[in-house]
C-alpha cells in the first residue's frame, strides 16, 4: 500500500524595496528605484509561481514606511527576498558608468544566517550562469562600504545590520539587481527580456535553495 503525502508549497516573501514617499535611488534617467523594484518583484513572483512556489508580495503598493512592517508581514514564509536596484556613493556619481553588476547581501544576525547565505549563493550562481556579473565594489573601502564578501565568486556580501535581514524570522536575502545610476546598465534593467532573465535566475536559485 502506498500513501501519498501532500507536500505544502513553500512560500517566498518577495519584498519591493522602498516606498512611495521615499522611493530609493533616482536612476540616470530620473526614474525612482521603487518603480524598478516593483517591476522586477512582479517578474520574480511570476517565475516563482511557474516553479510551483507560493509568493507573498510585500510593499507592492508603496505603503511600507517602516522596515519592521515588512518582516512582520512576512511571518510564516520560508524565505524573505528583498528586491532593490543599486547606486554608488554620491561623490562617485560623476563616474557612475564605471559601476555595474548585481550584489547580494545577507546578515550574520539573521536567525538562519547559514541558510540565508546558501540561498544568496545559489541566486548569485544562477545570475552568473545567465551572464550577469557581481558588482564587487561594495567590498571596497573607498569605492564601496567595506562590506566583506560572504561568497566572493557569487557576489554575496555580509551586511549584518541590514534591517530586513536582521528582523526577519526566516532566512533573508537582499538583491541589488543592477546599478541604475549607470545609464547603460539602467537601459538593460528596463529591457523586459533582461528583467525576465534576472527574475528567472533569482527564482531558480530560490527553488534550489528551498528544496534542500
Binding site for Zn ion (CB under 5 A): 17, 24, 84
Q: Are 181 and 27 in contact (CB under 8 A)?
A: yes
DSSP for 166-204?
HS-SS-EEEEEEEETTSHHHHHHHH-HHHHHHHHHHHHH
Least distance to Zn ion from the beta carbon of 109, Å? 20
Pick 17 or 178: Cβ nearer Zn ion: 17
Pick 10 or 188: Cβ nearer Zn ion: 188
Pick 87 or 154: Cβ nearer Zn ion: 87
Q: What are phi and psi of 202, to 5 degrees?
A: -60, -45
Task: Write the Ramachandran bin of 18: left for phi over 0, alpha for psi from -120 to 50, otherwise beta.
Answer: left
Least distance to Zn ion from the beta carbon of 3, Å? 47
Pick 40 or 74: Cβ nearer Zn ion: 40
Pick 25 or 170: Cβ nearer Zn ion: 25
Pick 53 or 80: Cβ nearer Zn ion: 80
Least distance to Zn ion from the beta carbon of 83, Å? 9
Q: What are phi and psi of 142, to 5 degrees?
A: -90, -45
Least distance to Zn ion from the beta carbon of 15, Å? 11
Q: Is 104 helix (H, G, I), strand (E, B) or coil?
A: strand
Q: What are the C-alpha distances in Å from 142 to residues 21, 135, 158?
A: 30, 14, 17
Least distance to Zn ion from the beta carbon of 87, Å? 8
Least distance to Zn ion from the beta carbon of 138, Å? 13
- What does the alpha-carbon distance between residue 40 and residue 202 come to, in Å, rounded to a whole number? 10
**Strand pairing class (79-86; 54-58):** unpaired
Amino acid at each position: 500500500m502506498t500513501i501519498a503525502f501532500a507536500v505544502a508549497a513553500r512560500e517566498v516573501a518577495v519584498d519591493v524595496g522602498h516606498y512611495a514617499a521615499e522611493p530609493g535611488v533616482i536612476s540616470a534617467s530620473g526614474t525612482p528605484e521603487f518603480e524598478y523594484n516593483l517591476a522586477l518583484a512582479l517578474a520574480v513572483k511570476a517565475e516563482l509561481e511557474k516553479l510551483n512556489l507560493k509568493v507573498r508580495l510585500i510593499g507592492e503598493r508603496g505603503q511600507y514606511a517602516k522596515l519592521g512592517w515588512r518582516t512582520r508581514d512576512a511571518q510564516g514564509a520560508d524565505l524573505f527576498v528583498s528586491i532593490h536596484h543599486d547606486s554608488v556613493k554620491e561623490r562617485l556619481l560623476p563616474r557612475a558608468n564605471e559601476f555595474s553588476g548585481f550584489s547580494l547581501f545577507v546578515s550574520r544576525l539573521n536567525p538562519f544566517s547559514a541558510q540565508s547565505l546558501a540561498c544568496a549563493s545559489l541566486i548569485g550562481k544562477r545570475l552568473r550562469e545567465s551572464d550577469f556579473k557581481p558588482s564587487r565594489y561594495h567590498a571596497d573601502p573607498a569605492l564601496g562600504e567595506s562590506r566583506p564578501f560572504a561568497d566572493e565568486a557569487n557576489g554575496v556580501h555580509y551586511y549584518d545590520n541590514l534591517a530586513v535581514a536582521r528582523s526577519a524570522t526566516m532566512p533573508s536575502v537582499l538583491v541589488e539587481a543592477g546599478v541604475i545610476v549607470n545609464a547603460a546598465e539602467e537601459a538593460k534593467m528596463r529591457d523586459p527580456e533582461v528583467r525576465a532573465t534576472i527574475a528567472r535566475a533569482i527564482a531558480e536559485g530560490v527553488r534550489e535553495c528551498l528544496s534542500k
